[in-house]
Amino acid sequence: MTQAAIPHTSNTSSTSATFKNLTCKECGAEYELQPIHVCEFCFGPLEVTYDYDALRRHVTRETIQSGPNSIWRYRSFLPVATDNPIDVGTGMTPLVKSHRLARRLGLKNLYIKNDAVNMPTLSFKDRVVSVALTRARELGFSTVSCASTGNLANSTAAIAAHAGLDCCVFIPADLEAGKVLGTLIYNPTVMAVQGNYDQVNRLCCEVANTHGWGFVNINLRPYYSEGSKTLGFEVAEQLGWQLPDHIVSPLASGSLFTKIYKGFQEFVKTGLVADKAVRFSGAQAEGCSPIAQAFREGRDFVTPVKPSTIAKSIAIGNPADGIYALEIAQKTNGNIESVTDAEIVEGMKLLAETEGIFTETAGGTTIAVLKKLVEAGKINPDETTVAYITGNGLKTQEAVQGYIGEPLTIEPKLDSFERALERAHTLDRLEWQQVLV
Ligand SMILES: *Cc1c(COP(=O)(O)O)cnc(C)c1O
């Protein structure tokens, strides 16, 4: 296979750049900071490495806190050279101390990291795309693209529009209406592929080889994936420059999970937080749980599956970073669990009813797995536990349609209201009686 015609690729390094090269995660071979993602020798994935001595000397809690109120306060830990990154207010989402959900589950120190309200497209993907498109621009790409399970398409289309980059995204044809509309509004070219995500991804690998486009999660993947570290950095900063004891996060390709880990390690390595053993637990939907299956069977390899679940945003049957996620869960004494679609819907409702946060199916998966782990005694009630909510429920409305209440339709008259209220109370009482028997 011939390498695509790649646009101008000088590293445009500025003196403040602290990222050094790309290193193969398997064999350690080093590469220049090009738009490449696999090792020529062993086909292992490439990862960005930094000059940690320079970071330790130059970055302090104060320099970070005096930076922008976005992911770019951690710019020294991100693989871009420019002093003018694409900043659309991504990041610094709330870390909410949970009271009602925590009590319901029997936990004392539960926090919700709420990326359902991330900017601009209400999912954690805005983090990875802000970094990838900033790097794409630096590398000279004028057209950006992605293989998406939905949220990535929203984010790539929106941030490309903001940056004035041409955009063509690829999605499976059967995505939720909100995800498709939430992409089309930015007016990119949208390819709805008749196949599942893994087939979309395979097609995109071929397109990346034949067109000189910057695919955020293919040829730009080493840069893109670094954006997820900010979900580790922010939690550490928001906990008062401390690491939590336990995190629970959803797993699709496994990238987010491994990068939260890398983020925590980098903060330890550069002296920004004290070292601590953090347990890493991952959440998958039963209808697409190749990493959970491998964990359950104590394997060190992941067998691909064909996805079938309502949690489409995390339905990746052949997860690129699956083995690394598996390894982290195993070595940190964490867990990887899966839950049914019915449990995912219950998880979405539970989070909404107790915390006022409407998350999408991926967040429902995380909450349902959190509950399952607590019930199995695998989360200690005293542990400081952070549950990562990565997307917004307004985008996957069909998942809960038919499983939630209905409005009480009334006439614009007081007595009509009073009668409806009485009926509602009676229904409540009946529900309680059912719970009690
Ligand atoms: C993409 C996505 C994830 C997980 O992504 P990884 O491929 O594991 O990095 C989790 N939640 C939501 C809502 C997503 O869109």
Q: How far is CA 412 from the centre of its chain?
A: 45
pLDDT at 245 over 60: yes
Q: Is residue 133 assigned to a domain? A: no
Q: Is residue 15 assigned to a domain? A: no
Give me ligand 1 centre to Cα 412, in Å.
Answer: 45
List the residue whose alpha carbon is closest to atom 7 of ligand 1: 253
| pLDDT tens column, 257-306 | 999 999 999 999 999 999 999 999 999 999 999 999 999 999 999 999 99
Task: Give the whole-angstrom CA distance, residue 366 versus residue 431.
Answer: 27
| Mean pLDDT to the nearest integer, 392-417 | 96
Nearest-atom index, ligand 1, CA of 254: 8
- Residue 207: per-residue pLDDT: 95
Residue 298 to residues 25, 41, 248, 251, 327, Cα–Cα distance (Å): 22, 29, 19, 17, 10
Task: Give the whole-angstrom CA distance, residue 290 versus residue 171.
Answer: 21
The domain spanning residue 297 has which CATH number? 3.40.50.1100
DSSP 342-393: HHHHHHHHHHHHHH---B-HHHHHHHHHHHHHHHTT-S-TTS-EEEEE-BBG
pLDDT at 253 over 70: yes
What 8-state DSSP symbol labels residue 121?
Answer: T
338 and 370 within one domain = yes
| Mean pLDDT to the nearest integer, 186-211 | 96
425 and 356 within one domain = no
416 and 277 within one domain = no
> How many domains does the chain fold into?
2
Nearest-atom index, ligand 1, CA of 320: 7
List the residue whose alpha carbon is closest to atom 4 of ligand 1: 252
pLDDT at 10 over 50: no
- Residue 14: per-residue pLDDT: 45
429 and 381 within one domain = no
Q: In percent, how much of the chain has pLDDT > 90? A: 92
Q: Is residue 351 assigned to a domain? A: yes
Q: Is residue 350 assigned to a domain? A: yes
Nearest-atom index, ligand 1, CA of 259: 9
Give me ligand 1 centre to Cα 110, in Å.
Answer: 21
254 and 297 within one domain = yes
Q: Is residue 326 assigned to a domain? A: yes
353 and 334 within one domain = yes
412 and 267 within one domain = no
| pLDDT tens column, 119-133 | 999 999 999 999 999
388 and 251 within one domain = yes
pTM attached to this predicted model: 0.95
What 8-state DSSP symbol labels residue 416?
Answer: H
242 and 388 within one domain = yes
pLDDT at 433 over 80: no
Confidence tier at 429 by pLDDT (50, 70, 90) = confident
Q: Is residue 11 assigned to a domain? A: no
Q: Contact 198/316 with Cβ under 8 angstroms?
A: yes
Give me ligand 1 centre to Cα 189, in Å.
Answer: 22
423 and 366 within one domain = no
- Residue 16: per-residue pLDDT: 62
Domain holding 252, by residue range, is 95-121+228-399
pLDDT at 313 over 80: yes
Nearest-atom index, ligand 1, CA of 150: 15
Q: Contact 326/298 with Cβ under 8 angstroms?
A: no
- Residue 37: per-residue pLDDT: 97
294 and 317 within one domain = yes
pLDDT at 366 over 90: yes
Residues 6+ apart with CB under 8 A from 306: 196, 317
Task: Give the whole-angstrom CA distance, residue 360 versus residue 337.
Answer: 18
| Poorest-pLDDT segment among 71-75, 206-210, 432-436 | 432-436
> Among 313, 351, 357, 396, which is best to mutate for testing ligand 1, by the most ligand atoms less than 8 A from CB?
313
Give me ligand 1 centre to Cα 57, in Å.
Answer: 33
pLDDT at 431 over 80: no
388 and 298 within one domain = yes
> Among 118, 121, 122, 124, which is best to mutate for testing ligand 1, by the most ligand atoms less than 8 A from CB?
124
pLDDT at 9 over 70: no
Q: Contact 152/217 with Cβ under 8 angstroms?
A: yes
Give me ligand 1 centre to Cα 10, in Å.
Answer: 31
Q: Contact 129/227 with Cβ under 8 angstroms?
A: yes
- Residue 435: per-residue pLDDT: 60
Which protein residues touch ligand 1 with a CB less than 6 Å away? 123-125, 151, 250-256, 313-314, 360, 362, 390-391
Give me ligand 1 centre to Cα 14, in Å.
Answer: 31
Confidence tier at 430 by pLDDT (50, 70, 90) = confident
Confidence tier at 318 by pLDDT (50, 70, 90) = very high
Task: Give the whole-angstrom CA distance, residue 286 versus residue 81.
Answer: 41
